[in-house]
Structure 1
Amino acid sequence: MASWQSKLTSLFLRAAVKRKINPHANPADARARVDRLAARFSKDQDWIKVTPVSANGVPGEWVDVASDTPAIASGTEPQAGKVLLYLHGGGYIVCSPATHRLMVARICREAGLKALVIDYRLAPEHPFPAAVEDAEAAYRWLLAAGHKPEDIVIAGDSAGGGLTMSLLLTLREQNMPMPAGAALLSPWTDLALTGWTMLTNARRDPMLRLDSASLAVRHYLQDTTPTHPIASSIYADLTGLPPLYVQVGENEILLDDSRRLVAIAQNHGVEASLEEWPGMPHVFQAFAHVPESKPAIEGIGAFLKAQANRSALAAPDTVQAQAQTPAPTEAIEAAE
């Protein structure tokens, strides 16, 4: 049964997000409102270290955990060379590294990793494939900086989870070395919005609405078909991708996006697992005051740490040459 804290949070989200945020608002106004809401749940903490960075021209920040943080468990101190590339959610329209900083830091604390969180370009000003290009540029930047692919893990929530899949598919099509694994929090994997839970969970979901999702798709894809396999990974061949770990709340309209992604990945021979959390809203892991958030973050951290330490996924010694290649868009164009 869901905790009372999660139930109160769901009530707040229903009142402040689902009913109040106008999907047709000017994107700049929507971003400002979301930033104000996020600030209520994601205050800066002394134990979080933030360093601005430019990753191949893509702005972002390193998020790290101070080594003397009391809450760090034994054996989870940051490991040299091993990093997390985090792609934030927000429907490809809103949010930033700042809105996700606390959740990312909590993941870093559990995984013993530092994270690169990029401020990728947002729609409608920068439609698909701009976000994919920025994610790829950041990954290539990590490789060029000397990080081995088997020491890199990726994670993302909501649209950031979909973007994580877009990045993995792009890397595979370009014969780039793959990261060690990917954790997905309520990933948005079907921009055609065909999941049955889009309808069956329409009332239960306290945060997301089908009409808002539909408008976000139009902003992001514009002239691109919503079944484009790079944009909507459930329409892609997932063969050859690294291990995937997916968490999703059972009350979400995006529930079927996670279920179908994992089923397709397993059918294509990819190691993939799914956790469905009863009574939980969209990306509940972001709400540190919700009791269910803690074990969920611990699970994500344990998965990422394990994958970053798996030597079996070591890539050939061609990283530097590939990393210095200009970021192409051939894979995206070929899939169209």
Structure 2
Amino acid sequence: MKKLIFTVAGGIFAYGTYGKYRYQQSARSFLLEKGMRAIGYKDRIRVTDPEYFMESFELPPSEDKFPAGLLRGVSWREMWVGQMQVFSWNEIGEKTQKVVVYLHGGGYVSRASKLHYLMVNRVVKATGARAIFPTYGLGPQYNISTELLKLVTLYRELVAEHGAKQIVLMGDSAGGGLVMSLLQGVKAAGLEMPAQAILLSPWVNAAMDHPQAPFYDTVEPMIPLAGLLRAAKCWAAPGMALNDPLISPIYLSDAELEGFPRITSFVGLHEIFYPDIRDFHKRLNEAGIENRLIVAPRMIHVYPVFPTPEGREAVQQIITLVEEK
């Protein structure tokens, strides 16, 4: 992604500067979106070829490597919860330290990117929080049923160590959807809820059946509707419908949402998830759940993760949220 930003930036910088004034969008953000469209980033998954799609994501289970070279000077350690690898850093050994549990995006079929680690590191360095970064198992080898058990176990251990009210759950895209799955798992296990959840472009409807989805598929420069549906099928448990609330929290009932913590979502208007996220927050309002929806005009999917002025502003908002009592 870094290569994309700088390669395209060199070629169309003047046009990007023009975009800043015409569209009230930073040049870097404008370049990022236009660059994605120019190189066909959205078409990197050959969604018309199901066999290719499955082969692309049927990766053998393996351990991720902590990007120590990227996060220089960071003291980190590896933990294991069952067979799930977890990275912990910025840890000071105090029970009262806040904890940011980050569930990365990637359609439930792709590993975390360096941008995920960089953003999380900015947040925990600014807030003094401990970072917990699970590298949960990916579809199709693993699914929501196998990984939710591991995540609930991890959460239980963190509650015992720090207390629930010191924990912030955070995730982007599929990771945001997984945060909502984890909240359901926490409730089912009878555990105390975390302080809050912060979601970046969360995937709240695995069925992708919103009537406006086809239109927003034409607006979205990153992720294709057809590819999302195939990824959702990889992640669903055997026999599970894609509109099951466990993977599509937009369908949670008032009773199922009862007791959930405050939920804040960030979303851009240039992404396919926008209508579902908008309606998801309407559901939260109807259920009486404290929530906030931050909508960024002309921003793309998971815009807070990218090194743009708008992304940096969103990260600062996240830092403020984490610091709140």
TM-score (norm 1): 0.78
Match of 2:45?
21
Matched, 1:58 2:84: yes
In the other structure, the counterpart of 2:65 is none
- In the TM superposition, 1:155-166 aligns within 5 A as 155-166=170-181
Give me the whole-angstrom Cα distance separating, in 2, the residues matched to 1:267 and 1:50.
Answer: 42
How far did 1:228 drift? 1.1
Tell me the amino acid that sits aligned with residue 265 of structure 2: V
Aligned match of 2:287: 268
Please give the residue correspondences for 1:231-246 in structure 2 after superposition, counting only pairs within 5 Å: 231-237=247-253, 238-246=257-265
Provide the residue aligned with 1:141 in structure 2. Answer: 157
Q: Which deviations, in whole Å up to 9, do the C-alpha atoms of 1:161-190 show, x marking residues without a partner?
A: 000001111211222111000000000011
How many angstroms apart in 1 are the aligned matches of 2:287 and 2:44?
Answer: 41
In the other structure, the counterpart of 1:279 is 298
Q: Secondary structure at the match of 1:276?
A: strand
Match of 1:300 in 2: 318
Mapped partners of 1:171, 1:97: distance in 2? 27
Shifted more, 90-99 versus 235-244: the winner is 90-99
Shift of 1:26: 5.3
CA drift at 1:57:
4.2
Distance 1:7 1:62, change over 3 A: same
Does residue 1:184 correspond to 2:184, yes or no?
no
TM-score w.r.t. the length of structure 2 is 0.81
**Is the Cα contact below 8 Å between 2:95 and 2:163 reproduced in 1?**
no
Q: Per-residue deviation at 1:301?
A: 1.4
- Runs of 4+, deviation exceeding 3 Å: 23-32, 47-50
CA distance change for structure 1 residues 16 and 285 in 2, over 3 Å: closer, same or farther? farther
Q: Secondary structure of the equivalent of 2:210? A: coil
| Structure 1 Cα separation of the partners of residues 320 and 192 of structure 2 | 23
Shift of 1:303: 0.9
CA distance in 2, matches of 1:123, 1:232: 16
**Any gaps of 5 or more consecutive residues in structure 2?**
1-23, 60-67
Structure 1 range deviating more: 167-176 or 15-24: 15-24
Aligned partner letter, 1:300: I
Which residue in the other structure is 1:9 paired with? 32
Q: 1:100 to 1:43 in 2, by over 3 A?
A: farther
> Whose RCO is larger (CA < 8 A, sep 6+)?
1
CA distance in 1, matches of 2:198, 2:35: 27
**Counterpart contact for 2:103–2:133, Cα < 8 Å:** yes
244-253 vs 107-116, which moves further: 107-116
Rounded to whole Å, the distance in 2 between the matches of 1:83 and 1:28 is 36
Query: What do residues 82-107 of structure 1 show as CA deviations (whole Å, max 9, x unaligned)?
Result: 21111111111102375621111122
2:78 aligns to what SS in structure 1? strand
Instruction: State the identity as a percent.
Output: 29
Say if 1:21 and 1:30, in contact at 8 Å, map to a contact too: no
Q: Which residue of 1 aligns with 2:137?
A: 121
Compute the displacement of 1:258 (Å).
1.4
* Whole-angstrom distance in 1 between the partners of 2:294 and 2:109: 27
What secondary structure sits across from 1:201 in the alignment?
A: helix
Amino acid at match of 2:251: Y
Distance 1:249 1:93 in 2: 22
Shift of 1:43: 7.5
In structure 1, list runs of 5 or more residues that go unmatched.
Answer: 33-41, 68-77, 310-336
User: C-alpha displacement at 1:270, in angstroms?
Assistant: 0.7
Q: Which has the higher helix share?
A: 2
Alignment partners' CA distance in 2, 1:47 and 1:186: 30
Tell me, what secondary structure is at the counterpart of 1:292?
Answer: helix
